[in-house]
Amino acid sequence: MSDQTITSVSREHRVFRPSAEFQRQANLGSYSAYKKLYAESVNAPEKFWTRQGKELLSWRKPFKQALRWKLPHAKWFVGGQLNVAENCLDRHLGTARENKAAIIFEGEPGDIRTLTYKQLHREVCRFANVLAKLEVSKGDRVAIYMPMVPEAAIAMLACARLGAIHTVIFGGFSSEAIKDRVNDCQAKVVITADGGWRRGKVVELKSNVDRAVAATPSVKSVVVLKRTGNPVTMTEGRDLWWHDLVAQVPAEHKARGFDSENPLFILYTSGSTGKPKGVLHTSAGYLLGTTITSKYVFDLKDTDVYFCTADIGWITGHSYVVYGPLANGATVLMYEGAPNQPGPDRFWEMIDRHGVTIFYTAPTAIRAFMRWGDDHVKKHSLRSLRLLGSVGEPINPEAWMWYHTLIGKKRCPIVDTWWQTETGAIMVSPLPGVTPTKPGSCTLPFFGVIPKVLDEAGKEVPRGSGGKLFLKSPWPSMLRTLWGDDERFKRQYWSELPGYYFAGDGARIDEDGYLWVVGRIDDVLNVSGHRIGTAEVESALVSHPSVAEAAVVGRPDELKGQALVVFVIVKTGIEATKELREELRSHVAKEIGSLARPDDVRFAAGLPKTRSGKIMRRILKEIAAGGEVKGDTTTLEDFSVVAALQAQEE
């Protein structure tokens, strides 16, 4: 076995086909239709995207050319002008959608507010007028640090309406993170709230902003939404109440068109290593990418109630809570709080009560639901659901099967969507009425996407073995650069192999051409010359009935190169014994071969995760090697987890 490829150890053979019933009603319902469109999208991309651009978006001024590509810089829909907010709102007015719910909001305490397209349009217009009064115009940066409330989406859309650039900072980040991001992009205005509800408590957003803006000279105004009513300090001349401002302006706003390539937003990635990167997305291409994927991957219909659990602070919240669904005229359910408040069945209870039809969440959440126990799910019918989605990490087959059986009642297709902050929209995913699914595989590329799994020499690996995941050829919703650092953009994404976008993930393509992402390439394990992705070993562990969650890392080992250290969280009610430790070592050896038998099994109460739920294996590596935890930990959700793991060491 060469050192160049990743050894694949997964043995998943189950296949699930879409039902005839789902196929009949799907926006795309046959494999031959997919193949035909896909072939056109990669063989004649200009023609394909010209047609989609005209059909799916409303233009102020038509574009002349679909793509101008000067590697690695792309311009999409050259010469065109549009307004992104108009595409999400105005164009539904005067149609049957005008008075349909755009956003159904539910706060954690249980307060519910519904905004129809017409109402949302008026709120966005009002807030655009507010921002204009604060002297925000085209190209200015506006930071948004808010709870998951409709005003977060309203603020984003108001920026888009003015051609200004929003940067949403996740509400769980610290004042330090706000300061760094605001300074990096020189935001003029910060929009925040007195607080938001999380697990029955108020998250004090405003005081974090106060600490941050003490060191951000670019900020001229801070707009504060009253959400929780807890006391906040308002600084005269800088801080303004949202409700006071909107009361002074009309609910009409005449929008203008902006160039296709006008920047829409910067989103700082909470990468598990290094300084955050300001990923820049622009207008028309991003909007088209999110619109077309929402239409085909989520099979959106006017009758759907669509619930994506991602926070607006992540790319998933941008693309699949706000832009994609609204451009399709969908009804979006937006929830403010924690999934286990007041009880572990909050989501299931909400799904029944609101009649949710499409549910999109992350594997980390699915594993938490599994750990909390099936009874919480079984109390609810979940009859309204018709489609499920997953994003953020490889989904282990065990979690996939649980999702399929307990939540989807074996009736709902699952779309396992692979994409990134940088790709803007879903790149590889099943289409629910088309693609037979295999648990753990994100299956086949979306239109226009050419994934390649290549070895160190840039050669395609044989089917069944693994390598690095690249994308060939540009796509409309691709990042355009890193804010203020084009060199880093080139180095990070376009220099691994000339002419290809490097995703940073390890993957393999199986005998049917299906893609399996096996984890970040930096995390790949190297055992006796075999390179193994983390996802496969972790999946084997989670397939043991006692295990709720697992993470694997390598520890330097003279003999083997790396010894495998696994961190295991057991299910509620299971005892972490020596016998179980041995059993788990044998279990992995049995599931995937003795090559992957863990050298060290450690029980843990929690794993270090980023705030978007990704395991920070870098930290576990340091703990496994017995060293101290160095490097950036500002994206870590809960430092006490690390302290507990270290204490165990001693």
Binding stretches for ligand WTA (CB under 6 A) = 269, 314-316, 390-394, 416-421, 442, 503-505, 517, 520, 612
CB 217 → ligand WTA: shortest distance, Å? Answer: 30
CB 465 → ligand WTA: shortest distance, Å? Answer: 18
CB nearer to ligand WTA: pick between 221 and 443: 443
CB nearer to ligand WTA: pick between 376 and 452: 452
List all residues 6 or more positions away from 585 whose beta carbon is below 8 Å from its beta carbon.
597, 598, 601
CB nearer to ligand WTA: pick between 34 and 268: 268
- Enter the DSSP assignment of 404: I
Angle value at C-alpha 159, between 157 and 162, nearest 5 degrees: 110
CB nearer to ligand WTA: pick between 72 and 394: 394
Beta bridge partners of 434: none
- Residue type at position 604: A
What is the residue-wise DSSP string for 282-340?
ESHHHHHHHHHHHHHHS---TT-EEEE---TTSHHHIIIIIIHHHHTT-EEEEE-S-TT
d(CA 294, CA 500): 26
What's the length of the chain? 650
Q: Which residue's beta carbon is nearest to the bound ligand WTA? A: 421
What is the residue-wise DSSP string for 568-610?
EEEPTT----HHHHHHHHHHHHHHH-GGG--SEEEE-S---BB
List all residues 6 or more positions away from 624 whose beta carbon is below 8 Å from its beta carbon.
553, 554, 555, 565, 600
Burial class (CB in 10 A: 0-12, 13-18, 19+), 31: middle
d(CA 135, CA 578): 65
CB nearer to ligand WTA: pick between 257 and 504: 504
CB 579 → ligand WTA: shortest distance, Å? Answer: 33
CB 261 → ligand WTA: shortest distance, Å? Answer: 22
CB nearer to ligand WTA: pick between 329 and 533: 533
Strand residues in 25-72 grouped as ranges (E): 65-70
CB 390 → ligand WTA: shortest distance, Å? Answer: 6
CB nearer to ligand WTA: pick between 461 and 517: 517
CB 78 → ligand WTA: shortest distance, Å? Answer: 27
Relative to beta strand 201-203, strand 196-198 is antiparallel
CB 248 → ligand WTA: shortest distance, Å? Answer: 38
Tokens encoding 414: 């699952």
CB nearer to ligand WTA: pick between 255 and 525: 525
Helix axes 639-649, 617-624, angle to 10 degrees: 20
CB 273 → ligand WTA: shortest distance, Å? Answer: 13
d(CA 250, CA 129): 7
CB nearer to ligand WTA: pick between 390 and 465: 390
Q: Cβ–Cβ contacts within 10 Å for residue 75, how many?
A: 21
d(CA 559, CA 134): 64
CB 364 → ligand WTA: shortest distance, Å? Answer: 11
CB 614 → ligand WTA: shortest distance, Å? Answer: 7
CB nearer to ligand WTA: pick between 81 and 364: 364
